[in-house]
Structure 1
């Protein structure tokens, strides 16, 4: 118990007078083998929070400036259409051909060109097209070209699922015109 009391006096002096951080106090005491017992930095912070030392958080410059990361709020993220939660079970279980997932991929060398990818969920068939940019009009134009290649459009494309990227902002409208169900993943799902 005496060792803990001596350490506490040392810690209070170094923090209050010399303006050391709790981590510096613990590191110095361990490196120079000053006490029989030296707590971990976390334990020292806990003791300060619990009032076991005469040091308070206001005395710790870094703890006052340090801000914890806050979870990003999805409430401002626009949902572009029907939620993925409303997809039929046949889409989930991959029992039926014609349900596609769409995404865009940017290359690391060029910020202009992108790839539009469509993957059919049951067969894993892929359609990949280079698009001039990752924006809604480029995606809409590429999809129009792809759809024109399939004479039985409604048999080939029953649904498309995408993320909520701005490049898919016209997808629901395009799907509605062509009688293709369009679903969107939850915001910040990736």
Structure 2
């Protein structure tokens, strides 16, 4: 087409029956040369408004069409747009015609229509799908089971398929107007409302005093080159009613066990035991202490002040960040089996077990014992 025609289109100027129509309503008649104010009887469809930078703009779609016509690959087009090649691939798959021709303006309007909101909820409308879901819920099927059976039995019939999440939303969110609230009682959880789940960033602080996380621990601790860095935890007895404090030095694997009177493992008793244990160490072996986020460490600030040893906390559900301690706790179960009352073991019993472990040669220490390695440091 002529360059002037393309420029007119770009500025919203349209041609019809020897006349030019401008966006401001002016009509210029080529035959008479007169200019009047009027509009076209059937104006072209408006260009969809761009929503944010995440979605493709009309200019980007025009560029895709031009570069594709020039024979560039998807990756090359993506580089020109500053977008992943997968974005270009999905755009062409969704909006190219059956013959493969990609028309950018048509694609832009189609994409805008696809994101139109609000859309009616699938289970808000009466019909066989809603009846089927309601009946299966009353039979105490789970939403996942209902969704799975529908997908199996009605392949290719989109009107008889629904996702698990859509069923849950129809039950829990009244604004969806889907299934009756009483049906929620058929769910195995028995809940009538959703239980919110929080991301790690949204969780409230575990303790009143701010924790120093393991990510802030000095790099020298990680490679075990510098002695004096400890990992700690509790091993628990029957019904978590009794416990023993365990400390392991990372470079020598030396073990120290702390007796909790009566097996009580409150934050205060654990604080007192740790202060006593760490107090027996020379200053150069008080490098750091790494623990998990158990409630027994609520007095971690008091431990740091009393002993001068910084306390670092592992990430939630990350026991591997205290690997030496986890391994040692497994060895200790030979002497303190799971499901037994640990309060029956006194300080002398714990000292005896610690000596046994510290007297065992370790492959990781070149068959030295932890006691021998620690003796060299002391």
Q: What's the TM-score, normalizing by structure 1?
A: 0.63
Are positions 1:82 and 2:179 aligned together? no
Q: Tell me, yes or no, if the aligned pair for 2:289 and 2:311 is still in contact at 8 Å.
A: yes
Higher relative contact order (CA 8 A, sep 6+): 1
Picking from 152, 177, 198, the partner of 1:71 is 198
Residue in 1 aligned with 2:161?
44
Number of corresponding residues: 160
| Larger Rg, first or second structure (1 or 2) | 2
Deviation at 1:176, TM superposition (A): 2.8
- Determine the C-alpha separation between the residues in 2 that align with 1:48 and 1:130: 50
Q: Are the counterparts in 1 of residues 235 and 244 from structure 2 also a CA contact under 8 Å? A: yes
Q: Helix, strand or coil: the match of 2:162?
A: helix
- 126, 134, 146: which is aligned to 2:277? 146
Please, which moves more after superposition, 70-79 or 131-140?
70-79
Greater share of strand: 1
Give the gaps of 5 or more residues in structure 2: 1-126, 167-175, 319-378
Is residue 120 from structure 1 mapped to residue 249 from structure 2 by the alignment?
Answer: yes
5+ long unaligned stretches in structure 1 = 1-8, 31-36, 50-55
Aligned to 2:228: 98
Provide the secondary structure at the position in 2 that maps to 1:105.
Answer: strand
Contact 1:80-1:169 at 8 Å conserved across structures:
no
Residue of structure 2 in register with 1:6 after alignment? none
Q: Deviations along 1:79-101, whole A, 9 cap, x unmatched?
A: 54433222110011221111001
SS in 2 for 1:21: helix
Question: What CA distance in whole angstroms lies between the structure 2 residues aligned with 1:115 and 1:122?
Answer: 22
Q: Is 1:134 the equivalent of 2:265?
A: yes
User: Distance between the aligned counterparts of 1:149 and 1:45, measured in 2?
Assistant: 65
Aligned partner of 2:312 in structure 1 is: 183
Bigger proportion of residues as helix: 2
Q: Conserved in 1, the CA contact under 8 Å of 2:211 and 2:312?
A: yes
TM-score (norm 2): 0.35
1:167 matched to which residue of 2?
Answer: 296
Tell me which residue corresponds to 2:73.
none
Identify which range, 70-79 or 58-67, moves more after superposition.
58-67
Q: After TM superposition, give the deviation of residue 134 of structure 1 in Å.
A: 1.1
User: Displaced runs of 4+ in structure 1, greater than 6 A?
Assistant: 22-27
- Quote the RMSD (CA, aligned, Å): 3.8
C-alpha contact (below 8 Å) 1:22/1:44 kept by paired residues = no
Q: Given that residues 275 and 306 in structure 2 are in contact (C-alpha distance below 8 angstroms), is that contact kept between their aligned partners in structure 1?
A: no
How far off its partner does 1:11 sit? 4.7
**CA distance in structure 2 between the aligned counterparts of 1:10 and 1:178, rounded to whole angstroms:** 70
CA distance in structure 2 between the partners assigned to 1:147 and 1:13 by the alignment: 67
